[in-house]
Chain A
């Protein structure tokens, strides 16, 4: 069975401070991991995926298979980072497969 856990429902960080949103997963095979973001009044959109190894809007995430984690990090938070963040897992490499989402973390950046 696939499971994604985001332990923090709410996270508040001061502008300029580092951000880390936690994500742990459970899956027996080799999954692909994603971070999706939803800004206020906007639709859910892909932020980054582990196979692309990109840094998007200053965010990075490293897949740690030993700890089954895929934490999202940014060294210096900006006010525009305030949003709802969802970690998601696909059982196959390739974003076209069904996604299993965590319950999300609402990130608020304090000016």
Chain B
């Protein structure tokens, strides 16, 4: 099991553009959470998807949206990119029903640079 995978590794966009980031959860996990990590900061919760629905949301504008597919993989979309959206975007997967292991496992992240 490769664990949580994310694509692409790096991405460069310009202001005003739109971006889609992808995440495949760890085998057996059905819940995906997305975090934004700005330089020098800790990860900040964006939202969480479970059963193809947004279950929890952090303090991020509507420009940030997501989707979860039937195979539990997930996408994060950001519209009208701003310079301040430049960050490392982390995906974490977990499983509420997995007895004894409801830990969030993190992917390697996607580094987004907005010019």
Contacts and interface: CB of A to CB of B under 8 A. Distances in A.
Interface of A: 4, 6, 36, 43-46, 49, 86, 88, 94-104
Interface in B18-42: 31, 33, 35, 40-42
Contacts of A45: 105-106
17 contacts: A43-B3, A43-B4, A43-B108, A44-B43, A46-B104, A86-B42, A94-B96, A95-B104, A96-B94, A96-B95, A98-B33, A99-B33, A99-B104, A101-B35, A101-B42, A102-B42, A104-B41
B71 interface: no
A95 B42 contact: no
Nearest to B41: A103
A49 B104 CA distance: 12
Interface of B: 3-4, 31, 33, 35, 40-45, 48, 56, 58, 90, 94-96, 102-109
B49 to A, nearest CB: 12
Contacts, number: 55
Given A6-B42, A43-B109, A96-B96, 15 more contacts: A36-B106, A43-B4, A44-B106, A45-B106, A46-B104, A49-B103, A96-B102, A98-B45, A98-B48, A98-B58, A99-B33, A99-B45, A99-B104, A102-B42, A103-B42
Contacts of A94: 96, 102
**Shortest 8 CB-CB contacts between residues of A and residues of B:** A101-B42, A44-B106, A98-B45, A96-B102, A96-B96, A96-B94, A95-B103, A95-B102
